[in-house]
Amino acid sequence: MMSDTGLKPKTRRPGWWLCCSLALMLVSAMGASTVQTSGGDVSITDLRWETTPGTEMSGLLFVPDSVTAETPAPAVVVSHGMYNNREMQDINFVELSRRGFVVLSMDMYSHGFSAKASDVATILSGMYQAVKMLAGLDIVDDSRIGITGHSLGGMSSNAAVVADNAADSGLISAVLLNSADATYTDAESGEWINLYGDRSVGIVAPQYDEFFFHDVDAAGATTSPRDFIANKNAQSFLHFGTAPGGDIRQAGTLYRQDVDGSEAIRVIYTPAITHPWSHFSKRSTTATIEFFSEALGAPDPINPNNQVWQWKEAFNFVGLIGFAMFITCFAMLMLRVPFFSSLRAGQTVAIRTSDKPGKYWFWGTLVLGAIFAALVYLPLLTNVHAHTGSRDPWLQSSPAGVSIWAAACGVFTLLVLAAFYFLYMRKRGITLAERGITMPWRQVGKTVALAGIVVAVSYLCVFVVDYFFKTDFRLWVLAVKAFPPGVIWVSIFPVMIFLLVFYIVASIAANSINFIKLTGKSGEREWVNTAVLAGFNMLPAVVLVLIQYIVFFVSGEMAWADGNMVVIWLIPLMVILPVSTVISRKIYRLTNNPYLPGIINAVIITLIACSNTLTWI
């Protein structure tokens, strides 16, 4: 039989832990700022400028102290890909600026703080607008301007070359396409071409890229990205746009040729990484440094293998930990404020005991929920237009698709929990009220108010760090960053509403229903239960990601080729889902209220998702 066996009178000191979380965020901001400014030798300006069409773009401009109007430097525009933002290029702007380059890390149209667009063509046009802005600065040597973009940013680099070719006077001297194909043939005739002319051009072609670098071999079969270098597109590119044939050129070698009286470079780097990992790869970064140092000339040459961006990522990660701690500790501290003190339980909720049938229900609900989540993810996201390359039907397709899946999982879990309650708990005299599932209406209002305050103050820390240090809290594809006000309104439907369904149900399941001892031993710690729940929450994401990439690494092809993007979206969830479980448990133990942590998690994660994606007009 399940029962509430004892309450713990002792509680942690949230004020002390709150100070620790603030210290971690401050250390993160100061450390990351020190790295990205090269110890204060590089200045950073948050830019907003009006482009030729009259729309606004944003970017971060990095200017080494040695650069002046009298001593202009070569410059590089760096661009993120679809569903990302300017801060995602931190590896490139850190390493290039410390080598003396002026660097502009841009927000593409419909991303970050730049103006919103209604189609992909407009988004692709932003790179050339950034080039023209950079060329107008007197600190820039406009004869040595390079561009590099990841994924959709690489596609925008190709679009910029086309625009530059049509201009009266070209501005782009070097192009590095990162995780994006070059233009190999003429769109109308199909003939091999050298679109890039006398510019130096390189490609970072990951061997396990989920989107690009397929070709067709002599037998007409589609080739794997890991075989890209040996096939026609790569060989034509390395032969400066001529028909494939003759000598077989190799990866990692810089090939030089006179084109229209100027020496140009062609090179392809093939690191054994995936498409998103190129944001976080020393090999990809080495290639970027090497290419621009050769193509433009680094004012302050430093060995390409001498890299410090890893320190920035480490400091950013420390801030991410501090942010998660702050959410929990601030909520716990606010429970001591007289107005919200009624939300605090009389004593800390302790882990409960359970009989054997109760444990069967525990494991059964977890297994069923994980199976359902794993089975419906790909079919559901394929059919709700989560990744269509257009605004129809969602203003933010990525978080919309994931939130629909989350809501479906929440509804399924709610049905399973209802069966658990009616078939087991109610028969044993366990009430919804004693587990916090029902509460007086006056408590509902206070719950919502406190959740709103916790979210607002937590994100205030993020905005303060952004304002004073130009940093945020992130780990690879997971980022907590400042955002424009419009994100809040765009996020409400469907993302916030659907995530509220999921995270409230998840909190009820984890805390009101499944907070039980698993072995029945008197000394069993509650962290065992928390760890099991956190593990099962992230299990569907982990399983799908592992299947996709184990098959990819072994065979050279993905398990679900049409799920390339939506499987990538699961990667940050492998961190978010277990961490949100821990936050939920910590707050619940003090309140016996599953709704407070559920709302906090839902809104925080909505803002994380909706500030790191593409937003259509």
The 10s digit of each residue's pLDDT in 55-109 is: 999 999 999 999 999 999 999 999 999 999 999 999 999 999 999 999 999 999 9
Question: Bridge-partner residues for 46, per DSSP?
Answer: 60
Residue 218 and residue 110 share a domain: yes
**Residue 6 backbone zone (phi > 0: left; psi -120 to 50: alpha; other: beta):** left
Dist. CA 362–CA 539, nearest whole Å: 16
Dist. CA 616–CA 611, nearest whole Å: 13
Residue 366 and residue 285 share a domain: no
| Phi and psi at residue 240, to the nearest 5° | 60, 40
| Residue 272 tokens, joined | 């054994």
Residue 108 and residue 60 share a domain: yes
What per-residue confidence (pLDDT) applies to 6?
Answer: 40
Question: Parallel, antiparallel, or unpaired: how do β-strands 42-50 and 478-480 relate?
Answer: unpaired
Which regions of 139-254 does DSSP assign to beta strands (E)? 140-150, 174-178, 200-204
Count of structural domains, the chain = 2
Residue 144 and residue 230 share a domain: yes
Asked whether residue 521 carries a pLDDT value surpassing 80, the answer given is: no
Q: DSSP letter at 561?
A: G
Q: Are 516 and 362 in contact (CB under 8 A)?
A: yes
Dist. CA 414–CA 502, nearest whole Å: 9
Residue 159 and residue 107 share a domain: yes
Residue 357 and residue 266 share a domain: no
Asked, for residue 325, whether it belongs to a domain, the answer is yes
Asked, for residue 172, whether it belongs to a domain, the answer is yes
Asked, for residue 199, whether it belongs to a domain, the answer is yes
Residue 274 and residue 365 share a domain: no
Q: DSSP letter at 307?
A: -
CATH number of the domain encompassing residue 206: 3.40.50.1820
Asked, for residue 30, whether it belongs to a domain, the answer is no
Asked, for residue 377, whether it belongs to a domain, the answer is yes
Residue 293 and residue 340 share a domain: no
Last residue of a domain, one of 248, 269, 302: 302
pLDDT in tens, 479-498: 999 999 999 999 999 999 99
Which of 545-583 are b and which e, b meaning 16 or more Cβ less than 10 Å from the residue's Cβ? beebbeebeeeeebbeeebbbbbbbbbbbbbbbbbbbbb
Residue at token pair 């601030």: 330
Asked, for residue 34, whether it belongs to a domain, the answer is no
Asked, for residue 87, whether it belongs to a domain, the answer is yes
Find, among 42, 37, 130, the residue nearest to 79 by Cα. 130
> Among 87-96, 213-222, 295-304, 500-509, where is mean pLDDT lowest?
213-222
What per-residue confidence (pLDDT) applies to 2?
Answer: 43
Dist. CA 502–CA 508, nearest whole Å: 10
Mean pLDDT of 193-200: 97
Q: How many CA atoms lie within 13 A of 185 on its CB side?
A: 12
Find, among 431, 517, 529, the residue nearest to 5 by Cα. 517
How far CA 554 is from CA of 204, 208, 277, 510, 575, in Å, comes to: 21, 10, 18, 37, 25
Can you give the residue range of the structural domain that contains 513?
A: 9-23+313-610
pLDDT mean across residues, the chain: 95
Last residue of a domain, one of 302, 329, 352: 302
Q: What is the pTM of this model?
A: 0.95
Q: Are 471 and 323 in contact (CB under 8 A)?
A: no
Start-to-end C-alpha separation, the chain: 55
Asked, for residue 506, whether it belongs to a domain, the answer is yes
Residue 347 and residue 396 share a domain: yes
Residue 56 and residue 200 share a domain: yes
**Residue 54 backbone zone (phi > 0: left; psi -120 to 50: alpha; other: beta):** left
Last residue of a domain, one of 302, 335, 358: 302
Residue 118 and residue 222 share a domain: yes
pLDDT in tens, 109-125: 999 999 999 999 999 99
Q: What percent of the chain has pLDDT over 90?
A: 93
Dist. CA 268–CA 255, nearest whole Å: 10
Dist. CA 344–CA 443, nearest whole Å: 10
Asked whether residue 340 carries a pLDDT value surpassing 60, the answer given is: yes
3-class secondary structure, 113: coil
Residue 318 and residue 291 share a domain: no
Dist. CA 52–CA 164, nearest whole Å: 14
Over the Cα atoms of the chain, what is R_g?
A: 27
